Chains A and B, each alone.
Chain A
Amino acid sequence: MTRFAESTITFPYKRSLGPVVGAFMTALTDKRILGIRNGKDILVPPMEWDPTTGAELAPDFVEVGPVGTVESWTWVPTPSVQHPLQHAFAFALIRLDGATTPLLHAVDGGSSERMVEGLRVAPRWRGTRVGRIDDIICFVMGEVPETDGGDTGAAQEPVQRMDYHASITYRNPVPAATDRAVVASRNRRLLGLRCPRCERVYAGGKGYCPVDAVELGPECEVDLPTVGTITNFAIVTPVSYPGQTETEPFVRAFVLLDGTDVVIGYSPVIELPADEVRVGQRVAAVWASPAEEHDQEGGMGGAWGSLLGWMPNGEPDIDDPDLVNRIF
C-alpha cells in the first residue's frame, strides 16, 4: 500500500503595490472605489498600464460605484478556504457605476435562483479595512452599501503593501525505492542501489541512476557500511523565516562510506559541535530508537528513515588530501 508524504507550503508574502494599486487600496480603506482613466475607458480594477498596448497610464483616478450591476456570474456551491465567503455565493463580474470594465468579486446572493444579469449590487465593507481587495467582504443585493461591525475608519497613511497568505498542502506518494530504504533503516540497514550499467551505487532511496537514466529496482539493492569519513561539510547560520526549525548554527556533513564510492550528502551530525567538525573525521551512523521512529520531524527525513545522522566513532582521522573533493 502506498504511503504518502504530506507537506504544506505556507508563506505570508508581502506585496508592494506601486502608485496605482496603492491608491486603489488606500481608497478602499475610506470605502471609496477608484478606477483609472484610459482614453474613453474607466478601468476598474485600475491598472498602471493600458491592458492592450502596455502604454503607461497617467494617474487620473475616477471614483466609481460603489453600487454596480452584475454583468455575468457563476454560482459557487462549495467555496474553497481561500474564497471570500464560506457559504454558497456567486462570483460575478460587476460593472460599478461609472466604470467601463467589470470587477470580479463575490456576491452574497443567497441562492443561484436570485442571481441574474443586470442585478444591482452594493459593497459590504469590512469594519476594519487594511487596504486589500477583500476590504470589500462581498457585494450584496440592492443599492445600499453595508459595513460589517464597527467602522474603524480610513487608513491614516497611504497603503503601500499588502499581505498575501498562501498555504497549499501537497500529498506525494513515497516512491517504492524510498519506502524499501525506510523499511531497511528500521533494522539499522543502509540500503544502496547499484546501477547495472555504470555500477555506481546510490543511497537514500534514489530509485534510478541519473547517469544512465534507468530505474533501479529491488534486484539492484546492496547493503552499505554504516561507518565512514567526513569529506566536507557546511555550517549553516540559520536565518529566520516562517517554517524555520533551526535557531543555532547547524552542521551538514558529507560522509564517504567505508570501502565504497558512496557519499551521503548534507547529513546532520550528532554530539559533534559545529566548531569541532573537520574533514577526515571518522563517524558512524546514529539510528533512531523505536520510540523516535514515529517522530517525523527528527532525523534526516525522507528515505533515510531511522538514520538520524552521524557521530564520531572515536577512530583517528584519515589524512587524505583528496577526501575534501568527495562531495558527490
Chain B
Amino acid sequence: MSATPCAVVGVGQTHHKSRRLDVSFGGLVREAVFRALEDAHMTLADVEAVILGKAPDLFEGVMKPELYLSDALGAVGKPMFRVHTAGSVGGTTAIVAASHVHAGKHRTVLAVAFEKQSEGNAQFALGSGRGASLGAGGAFAPFIRAYIRRSGAPEHIGWKVAVKDRLNALKNPYAHLRIEDISIEKVKASPMMWEPIRFLESCPSSDGACAVVLTDEAGGKAAAADGRPPAWILGASSRSEPSSFPGRDPVRPAAAVQCAADVYAQAGITDPRHQVDMAELYVPFSWYEPIWLEAFGFAEEREGWRLVDDGTTELGGSLPINASGGVLSSNPIGASGLLRFAEAANQVRGAAGEHQVEGAQVAVGMAYGANNQYFSTWVVGSSLSPFAG
C-alpha cells in the first residue's frame, strides 16, 4: 500500500447481551469507546474524527443515529461519518476509518459500531415491517444446503463449528452466549429453525458495541515504544456484487474471492493457509465457517469442511477461526463486523487475553452482508513487514 501506514492502538467492546436494559443508546456506545480510549492511553480530545457504522436504522427506529450520537461520541467540532453496508458494515467502518489515516487527512480516528437489537425486532426490520419475513436464517439456509451438497460435507461439521465457537466464547469475558455445557449432542438436539440450520447453529440477537482507535505510523510506533504493541493494517479491501442474476453463485461469491485476493496481494500473502496465524470470519450460522474458509483461500473449493473436521480451526489448531467465539456467540449486528476486525487486531497485539492464539503475528478480520454480496476484509500484522526475512 503506497498510502500512509495505519495502526490499531486501542480496542474496546461492551459486554454483549440480549438486552442491555441498563444503558441508553449513548451509554452503550460510550462503554465501548471509553474502553478503546483507555486501551489506547487516549481521551476523546485526542480523536480527530469519528466513523460510525450500524445496520438498518429500522432496527432501533432512530434515523441516521450518528446525528443523535455526535455529542455522545465527543465528535462536536469534528467530522462525524456514517457507514452502512449491510452486515459487512462493521468491517467497512474500520476500512473507511483507516482510509482517513491512509489519506493523511487525520492522525487519529475512532471507528465505532453498535446495534441495540432489544429496542426493536430484527425479523421485523429485515422484512421492512411486512409479514412472513424470512429472517437471515431463511435467506441463508438455501446457500448452506447448496454448500453441503456440493462439498459432500457430513452434517456434524455444522455442529462442530457451533460447539467450537461457544467453547471459545467461554474464554471471552465480553461474549454474549456462555453455554457451559455446550456439546455436539446439545447442538444436535436443538430445534430445527431453517432446515438445515438448527437453533444452536445460529447466532444470537445482541445489544452491543465495539470501538477501535486507529492512528498513523508515528502514533503506532509511539505506542510500540511505550510497550503497547499496535496492530498494523497490511491490507484492507471491500467488494460488492448484485443480489440476484442468473448464474450468480452465493456459496462462492466472486466478490468474496476478489476481496480476498486484493487484501492478500496488498499484504504480500501468497499462501493464506500458512501465512495467516488466525482469522475472525463473519459466521452467523455455523456452516459459514467452511464456506468462508474456501472463498477466502484458506482451503481448496469443497474442502473447507475438512479443516473443521480435523480440528485445524480450533483454538489449539494451526489456523484458529473465531477464537473470540465469533458472531455465533455475540451478534450486535452492526458491530459484529467491527468485532471481527478488532479481535483480529487484538490477536496480533497479543491482547486477546484467554483466547489469545499463541504467537499470532498475522490475522484476518472479515465481514459480509446482504445475500452474501458485501465483503470487507483486513489483514493486520504485529509489524509492517511480518514476512521480511
In-complex A–B contact (CB below 8 Å) = yes
Residues of B within 8 A of A166 (CB): 61
B120 within 8 Å of A by Cβ? yes
Decide if A51 touches B76 in the complex (CB within 8 Å): yes
Given contacts A166-B61, A243-B130, contact A210 B245 (CB under 8 A): yes
Query: Looking at the complex, which one of A50, A233, A239 makes contact with B142 (CB distance below 8 Å)?
Result: A233
Query: Looking at the complex, which one of B123, B129, B250 makes contact with A239 (CB distance below 8 Å)?
Result: B123
Interface residues of B in 2-42 (CB under 8 A from A): 19-27, 30
Decide if A9 touches B129 in the complex (CB within 8 Å): yes
Query: Looking at the complex, which one of B75, B123, B139, B245 makes contact with A328 (CB distance below 8 Å)?
Result: B245
Decide if A16 touches B131 in the complex (CB within 8 Å): no
Decide if B121 touches A241 in the complex (CB within 8 Å): yes
A250 within 8 Å of B by Cβ? yes
Cα–Cα, bound, A243→B120 (Å): 13
Taking the closest CB of chain B, its distance from the CB of A144, in whole angstroms, is: 33
Residues of A within 8 A of B61 (CB): 11, 13, 164, 166
Residues of A within 8 A of B193 (CB): 237
Given contacts A16-B119, A243-B124, contact A324 B150 (CB under 8 A): yes
Given contacts A11-B124, A166-B61, A210-B245, contact A254 B129 (CB under 8 A): no
Residues of B within 8 A of A243 (CB): 124, 127, 129-131
Query: Looking at the complex, which one of B25, B128, B194, B250 makes contact with A237 (CB distance below 8 Å)?
Result: B194
Residues of A within 8 A of B60 (CB): 13
Residues of B within 8 A of A261 (CB): 246-247
Cα–Cα, bound, A78→B194 (Å): 49
Q: When each residue 120-157 of chain B gets 1 if its CB lies under 8 Å from chain A and 0 otherwise, what string results?
A: 11011001111111110111011101100110000000
Cα–Cα, bound, A17→B73 (Å): 17
Residues of A within 8 A of B194 (CB): 234-237
Residues of B within 8 A of A242 (CB): 121, 124
Q: When each residue 16-33 of chain A gets 1 if its CB lies under 8 Å from chain B and 0 otherwise, what string results?
A: 111111000000000000
- Interface bracket on B: 35 or more
Given contacts A7-B128, A48-B72, A324-B150, contact A236 B118 (CB under 8 A): no
Decide if A48 touches B146 in the complex (CB within 8 Å): no
Query: Looking at the complex, which one of B27, B44, B242 makes contact with A53 (CB distance below 8 Å)?
Result: B44
Residues of A within 8 A of B145 (CB): 232-233, 279, 324
A15 within 8 Å of B by Cβ? yes
Query: Looking at the complex, which one of B76, B123, B128 makes contact with A54 (CB distance below 8 Å)?
Result: B76
Query: Looking at the complex, which one of A14, A52, A54, A232 makes contact with B146 (CB distance below 8 Å)?
Result: A232
Q: When each residue 56-92 of chain A gets 1 if its CB lies under 8 Å from chain B and 0 otherwise, what string results?
A: 1000000000000000000000000000000000000
Decide if B250 touches A328 in the complex (CB within 8 Å): yes
Decide if B141 touches A234 in the complex (CB within 8 Å): yes
B297 within 8 Å of A by Cβ? no
Which of A234, A238, A261, A262 is packed against the most chain B CB atoms within 10 Å? Answer: A234
Decide if B249 touches A49 in the complex (CB within 8 Å): no
Given contacts A235-B141, A243-B129, contact A18 B27 (CB under 8 A): yes
Residues of A within 8 A of B243 (CB): 210
Residues of B within 8 A of A55 (CB): 44
Cα–Cα, bound, A265→B243 (Å): 12
Query: Looking at the complex, which one of B27, B132, B134 makes contact with A245 (CB distance below 8 Å)?
Result: B132
Which of B116, B121, B143 is packed against the most chain A CB atoms within 10 Å? Answer: B121
Given contacts A234-B141, A266-B134, A324-B150, contact A18 B247 (CB under 8 A): no
Residues of A within 8 A of B146 (CB): 232, 324-325, 327
Residues of B within 8 A of A56 (CB): 30
Cα–Cα, bound, A232→B22 (Å): 43
Cα–Cα, bound, A279→B145 (Å): 10
Decide if B129 touches A236 in the complex (CB within 8 Å): no
Residues of B within 8 A of A241 (CB): 121, 123-124, 133
**Residues of A within 8 Å of B, CB-based: how many?**
62
Residues of A within 8 A of B250 (CB): 327-328
Decide if B119 touches A239 in the complex (CB within 8 Å): no
B71 within 8 Å of A by Cβ? yes
Given contacts A244-B133, A325-B146, A325-B150, contact A9 B245 (CB under 8 A): no
Decide if B242 touches A210 in the complex (CB within 8 Å): yes
Q: When each residue 355-368 of chain B gets 1 if its CB lies under 8 Å from chain A and 0 otherwise, what string results?
A: 00000000000000
A188 within 8 Å of B by Cβ? no
Cα–Cα, bound, A244→B128 (Å): 11
Residues of A within 8 A of B191 (CB): 237
A226 within 8 Å of B by Cβ? no
Q: When each residue 146-186 of chain B gets 1 if its CB lies under 8 Å from chain A and 0 otherwise, what string results?
A: 10011000000000000000000000000000000000000
Decide if A11 touches B247 in the complex (CB within 8 Å): no
Interface residues of A in 186-212 (CB under 8 A from B): 200-202, 209-211
Cα–Cα, bound, A47→B26 (Å): 10
Residues of B within 8 A of A238 (CB): 132
Decide if B20 touches A16 in the complex (CB within 8 Å): yes
Taking the closest CB of chain A, its distance from the CB of B376, in whole angstroms, is: 21
Decide if B120 touches A16 in the complex (CB within 8 Å): no
Query: Looking at the complex, which one of A53, A211, A324 makes contact with B74 (CB distance below 8 Å)?
Result: A53
Q: Whose C-beta in chain A lies nearest to the C-beta of B148?
A: A324
B248 within 8 Å of A by Cβ? yes
Residues of A within 8 A of B27 (CB): 18-19, 48
A180 within 8 Å of B by Cβ? no
Which of A50, A55, A327 is packed against the most chain B CB atoms within 10 Å? Answer: A327
5 contacts between A and B (CB under 8 A): A17-B24, A18-B26, A209-B245, A211-B242, A241-B123
The 10 residue pairs across chains A and B that have the minimum distance between CB atoms:
A245-B131, A54-B74, A18-B24, A210-B242, A9-B129, A236-B138, A328-B248, A232-B142, A241-B124, A13-B61
List residues of chain B with CB under 8 Å of any chain A CB: 19-27, 30, 44-45, 58, 60-61, 71-76, 116, 118-121, 123-124, 127-135, 137-139, 141-143, 145-146, 149-150, 191-195, 242-251
List residues of chain A with CB under 8 Å of any chain B CB: 7-11, 13-21, 47-56, 160-161, 164, 166, 200-202, 209-211, 232-239, 241-246, 250, 252, 254, 261-263, 265-266, 279, 321, 324-325, 327-328
Q: Given contacts A52-B76, A239-B135, could you give 16 more A-B pairs where the C-beta distance is less than 8 Å?
A: A13-B120, A16-B119, A51-B76, A53-B44, A53-B45, A54-B72, A200-B245, A233-B142, A235-B141, A238-B132, A239-B121, A244-B124, A244-B132, A244-B133, A261-B246, A266-B134
